[in-house]
Chains A and B, each alone.
Chain A
């Protein structure tokens, strides 16, 4: 009797598992699961005031050690050259659907009044770290460039590579113009270190860690994400199918 029960239980769990795996490999079913991403994003946007702020913490709440993740050193010779001269000639390009394309020297970005925020970084894997970020509001950069009314997404092109693929990320205009969305050049009262994205990185505080693009070189305003790289709006989105909307 026990033998038979165990047989049935093992069979049932095996059946359940293999059917889950089969479903997971079925493009149509994945499409159904993917539609929940839009539902979640829509629902979160309905309950979120447009400028609802992520919690800002005090210095006492900061992580003693803020671990880095992803790229810890972009391996290109171009980046190595920039690093060797302490990013003296690093420029942030702003182009795409803008009235006035910009090429802003790093020194200029660092010298104008900026925002300081102590916020929590949440990795998709589950861990969190709290750190202090110093940087310029993305909205000010976009306003200076004069965004076209056709622009729907802001894309961040990065200097690091995964294999031969460049890292990139994107957000929509709600997050791009959020008051806490900054192009950060400093962390914890110092200039950004290489593992944390020197010399410039994105902070988009209502989304998960993989959206926080590091080593940002170019900001591009686009109407659609379809034509870029894998078409899903980010390196991890293209390569392992992480959600483009990482608010949850």
Chain B
């Protein structure tokens, strides 16, 4: 079927270049996609059941102990989080704990699998680790300005994570999620006996509980920004690429 004349003809004739066909690139590999959707479910369940658990004693303390007669650094009256934000929607600590402690396994095990896979297939090193050029203040500042103007990378650059994405993904994967899990374990009296260093690392069970809540807030902030960015960058293409792995590359912007 190859007809050299057809291919060569335009070169000889040099007409105006045809509109480029949309370029499809394979952007997300299977482990990333699986982990993404398992997290999409798990993070919401953990946040919402966690808010119900928080409703049971909506006061946070620093140190080894902390109860009603001690000094909280954050304190709410009544049950601060409304039904639409909690699982289940009616006050039920027992049920919220069952959801939270069951889905915790779906947070921990896939995270560990993802970390191991990402080290083996070099995803972490190749796609997540910032390059030397990217961490220069000038580059970071440029990226912040581009984001603020809602000018997203196009062409080849759209296939790589930009430095702000890298920073946020690294923070979530290597800092926030491990902190969530470890501070969660520190709240377990049995784990404190098994791994007493947990209490030393976080400065006590109530400090761990406070850090758990702070990290949950940061994760929620990440989820919100993440969803806004997906909506702004083209939700069909972005969500589609996280399902199929294939991403329609936005054509190179003609720079003024």
A128 contact from B54, B67, B188, B196, Cβ within 8 A:
B67
Q: Considering only CB atoms, which chain B residue lies closest to A16 in the complex?
A: B44
Q: Please encode chain A, from 40 to 65, with 1 for each CB lying within 8 Å of some chain B CB and 0 for all others.
A: 10001001110011110100010111
Q: Considering only CB atoms, which chain A residue lies closest to B60 in the complex?
A: A126
B160 to chain A, nearest CB (A): 30
B87 touching A48, Cβ below 8 Å: no
Stretch at the interface among B93-101, B123-131, B137-145: B93-101
Summed over the interface, the residue pairs from A and B with CB atoms below 8 Å come to a total of 144
Contacts of A112 in B (CB 8 A): none
A196 to chain B, nearest CB (A): 14
Chain B positions 81-131 with a Cβ under 8 Å from a chain A Cβ: 83-84, 87-90, 92-95, 97-99, 101-102, 105
Contacts of A82 in B (CB 8 A): none
A128 touching B206, Cβ below 8 Å: yes
Contacts of B187 in A (CB 8 A): 122, 126, 248
Interface residues contributed by chain B, number (CB under 8 Å): 45
CA distance A49 to B70 in the complex (A): 33
Interface residues contributed by chain A, number (CB under 8 Å): 52
Q: Is B65 an interface residue (CB 8 A)?
A: yes
A44 touching B98, Cβ below 8 Å: no
CA distance A127 to B63 in the complex (A): 11
A24 contact from B53, B95, B205, Cβ within 8 A:
B95
Q: Is A139 an interface residue (CB 8 A)?
A: no
Contacts of B94 in A (CB 8 A): 236, 240-243
B99 contact from A33, A39, A61, A205, Cβ within 8 A:
A33
B65 touching A129, Cβ below 8 Å: yes
CA distance A196 to B190 in the complex (A): 22
A44 touching B93, Cβ below 8 Å: no
CA distance A247 to B187 in the complex (A): 10
CA distance A32 to B64 in the complex (A): 34
CA distance A53 to B92 in the complex (A): 31
Contacts of B189 in A (CB 8 A): 54, 120, 122, 205-208, 247-248
CA distance A128 to B202 in the complex (A): 15
Q: Considering only CB atoms, which chain A residue lies closest to B83 in the complex?
A: A17
B84 contact from A17, A37, A247, A248, Cβ within 8 A:
A17
Interface residues of chain B, those whose CB is within 8 Å of chain A, are: 44-45, 48, 53-54, 56-57, 59, 64-70, 83-84, 87-90, 92-95, 97-99, 101-102, 105, 187-196, 199, 205-206, 209
* 19 further A-B pairs in the complex, CB-CB below 8 A; given A13-B84, A20-B45: A17-B89, A20-B87, A20-B89, A24-B92, A37-B101, A54-B189, A61-B64, A61-B65, A67-B69, A120-B64, A126-B56, A127-B206, A128-B64, A207-B189, A243-B97, A243-B101, A247-B190, A248-B101, A248-B188
Closest 4 CB pairs of A and B: A247-B190, A36-B102, A126-B57, A48-B194
